[in-house]
Structure 1
């Protein structure tokens, strides 16, 4: 390969990487800004939960949808449209006069960032010939782990311009990404053979059952809405039966039926995400509201979570290459249980150093589980199914995020204080314990090379 082609590929990878990090970063940068947003718009915890979870619901819907659209209508076109939508939302969101407008702008941002991962992976598949799978795998891990840096980035910048800064910080990244995309990503070749079939019913049912489950779960703190529970169950069952009969389903549910192990890996990934994101979501507000730290200090303390997650990832990768998946993933769950137990020691008198230690333990656990479950999943599937598997993995992450934001809403419905932190810790302890037998099962059936 010539030096010129090598340089071009590096610029393409950089352009895609800059877009891929925008979704996870924008899901977590808002965490440090929540106290300011809540105060300015006079919001309760349920409102905050919807502000967060709506982003994930939209992302869960549009990521698989846009992935198929980019195959039919051009990956570069869809990628640039996605970047453009994020530009619009990043400029207009800080001008929001009320909660509804802010929700709308966040929704536009969610649609835009949802386009970037599937279209970006498609661009890599079409243009990168050298170590393509490694590049895609690195982007996937990068997209997931970069979420942990959101609170630190926003915490350091909010002190200079308040909560609107979390939107403005996107603009330099977007400017570079758009320029590199225009200059280096090849033009799309029009593919007239692919005719995308809109699975409207599947989209409606998926949106309905995700939203209705969240409404029901948020009602657990007050008047429980049993009617919404019945609707959620009905829509979930209807979604499954409709999708399994479709030739081009919105979500390929038949993929789960091929191997119980694959399904359980996705479940494990959802549960792991629940613990990680619930802590990622609650601690920035806790550090500011209960411990009295400012936004930049909250961001610095949250850095403990992201750094240890990042450091652990390459170490865990080498560990699994030499020892297999069973021991690393089993130990990661034990570390995760310790991390959740340590949540019970957190109170309004806790020094920030101790908060950093608790977050570090969670970061280590998630760093191992994140890369381990992804690699374990791909060890079970053929290359031809890697696209479906990647899309479902992203959907699993969004579902985990939605559940975590729901737990946040229910646990802290009456305010951010020690007793409610204990409530969240109890729920996460149950999740952590459930992870243990599941991890033993999926690693007991891992494929041997």
Structure 2
């Protein structure tokens, strides 16, 4: 009865934790020019600052999901919140890049705990409308990501880049208080035995990091040795995980259906375009166009807010027309958006920049919700948990690839010429998405029929 009475406060506690990962992911994009200047960093260094966050998140999100099942959701939620507190206090005091990188790593571990542990809390304590509540958490996450650059841009005006870490503290104070007071104590799990795939985790970490090293090294040429190591580690990881009864990443899930694997691939490519644009434009607006961080944050809102607005609109559109037409139009809009990047010059009006970003935002908004919903038409209800985890991993991989593109394209500095180099890469990505989208939407009616 007490839990039912405190449901809204429990949901609020989880929601406040859930927003921290996407908020800190996008808020830092506006701070990159200041961080780069203060620590004399290259674009490659900045890429590692961003990508390391996603590599750690990709490793710890599924890991902590399983650990929370073993040791308790409330405990892991509190540990995650405390880690973010520590990093948010110490990161602004970083004297150099390695310390800042370490603090961001601690923050990534902490925020990685909050979503899986939080969803576990919801499933254990909220007895009705669980799917609606979890959907609301997704809206919280999307909203915080949308407003991240704007919040960061406005705060930097008053206290420089360190302020983007301090903004977490009031959110954390409320979340910790609500968690301690209102989330029920964990029940000891004695019914199920668990096995952590330690070697799988190590192999995943190694092959993701090695691919990152290879991609960031492309600016100096193709490193054959690193490429071979990355490829071998990937194959070893796949073979090893395929044979595990409780794998870290369920690779067998992809083998069941080519459509499922392609949807994850499309989601990765869609994320690459969106995050590469999100990552590069705050710096371009400040360094090339000479605008303030506050103005950069306002202009960047065009990208994220249109992506957010399109989510409910695309849902209704898909319900009426099916998946094929909306998703194909989204791909064409995505192609148009990256082609428009070639029109961005050093004398471009901020209004025009906003319009260019809006096109990419609309495209991503349709693809984000469309691909997620299309995925669930191809899988059984019992596989939803696996699919959700892999979808989140796909998003992290897309973010890592986008960080690599940023590092290579802007290795010699932020300018119009290098923006065109990034645009060329993204045009290729957009073109590759067209046949993939044609294929995955070709069988949508058949898949729906089979799922009934």
What's the TM-score once normalised by structure 2's chain length? 0.97
**Rounded Cα–Cα distance in structure 1 between residues aligned with 2:202 and 2:116:** 21
Give the C-alpha shift of residue 144 in structure 1: 4.3
Match of residue 25, structure 2, among 24, 27, 30? 27
SS at match of 2:205: helix
- Structure 1 equivalent of residue 201 of structure 2: 203
Match of residue 412, structure 1, among 405, 410, 413? 410
SS at match of 1:130: coil
**Rounded Cα–Cα distance in structure 2 between residues aligned with 1:448 and 1:378:** 9
Matches within 5 A, 1:358-377: 358-377=356-375
The 1:379–1:138 alpha-carbon spacing in structure 2 relative to 1, beyond 3 Å, is: farther
The 1:10–1:132 alpha-carbon spacing in structure 2 relative to 1, beyond 3 Å, is: same
- Structure 2 equivalent of residue 245 of structure 1: 243
- Structure 1 equivalent of residue 448 of structure 2: 448
**Rounded Cα–Cα distance in structure 2 between residues aligned with 1:167 and 1:402:** 22
Give the C-alpha shift of residue 140 in structure 1: 3.0
Give the C-alpha shift of residue 141 in structure 1: 4.7
- Structure 1 equivalent of residue 57 of structure 2: 59
SS at match of 2:272: helix
**Rounded Cα–Cα distance in structure 2 between residues aligned with 1:185 and 1:374:** 30
- Structure 1 equivalent of residue 421 of structure 2: 423
Q: Deviations over 1:230-288 (max 9, x none)?
A: 00000000000000101111111111111111111100100000000000000000000
**Rounded Cα–Cα distance in structure 1 between residues aligned with 2:149 and 2:302:** 11
**Rounded Cα–Cα distance in structure 1 between residues aligned with 2:370 and 2:7:** 28
**Do the aligned partners of 1:148 and 1:280 also contact (CA within 8 Å) in 2?**
no
**Rounded Cα–Cα distance in structure 1 between residues aligned with 2:323 and 2:138:** 19
**Rounded Cα–Cα distance in structure 2 between residues aligned with 1:332 and 1:105:** 37
**Do the aligned partners of 1:141 and 1:371 also contact (CA within 8 Å) in 2?**
no
**Rounded Cα–Cα distance in structure 1 between residues aligned with 2:258 and 2:124:** 32
Match of residue 41, structure 2, among 37, 40, 43? 43
Matches within 5 A, 1:16-415: 16-144=14-142, 146-415=144-413
**Do the aligned partners of 2:378 and 2:448 also contact (CA within 8 Å) in 1?**
no
Give the C-alpha shift of residue 216 in structure 1: 0.6
Once superposed, what is the RMSD of the aligned Cα atoms?
1.3
Give the C-alpha shift of residue 124 in structure 1: 1.3
SS at match of 1:448: helix
**Do the aligned partners of 2:200 and 2:248 also contact (CA within 8 Å) in 1?**
yes
Give the C-alpha shift of residue 6 in structure 1: 5.5
Unmatched 5+ stretches in structure 1? none
What's the TM-score once normalised by structure 1's chain length? 0.97
Q: Deviations over 1:84-110 (max 9, x none)?
A: 100000000000011010000000000
Give the C-alpha shift of residue 27 in structure 1: 1.2
**Do the aligned partners of 2:88 and 2:168 also contact (CA within 8 Å) in 1?**
yes
Give the C-alpha shift of residue 5 in structure 1: 5.8
Give the C-alpha shift of residue 304 in structure 1: 0.8
Deviation larger for 431-440 or 350-359? 431-440
**Rounded Cα–Cα distance in structure 1 between residues aligned with 2:38 and 2:204:** 33
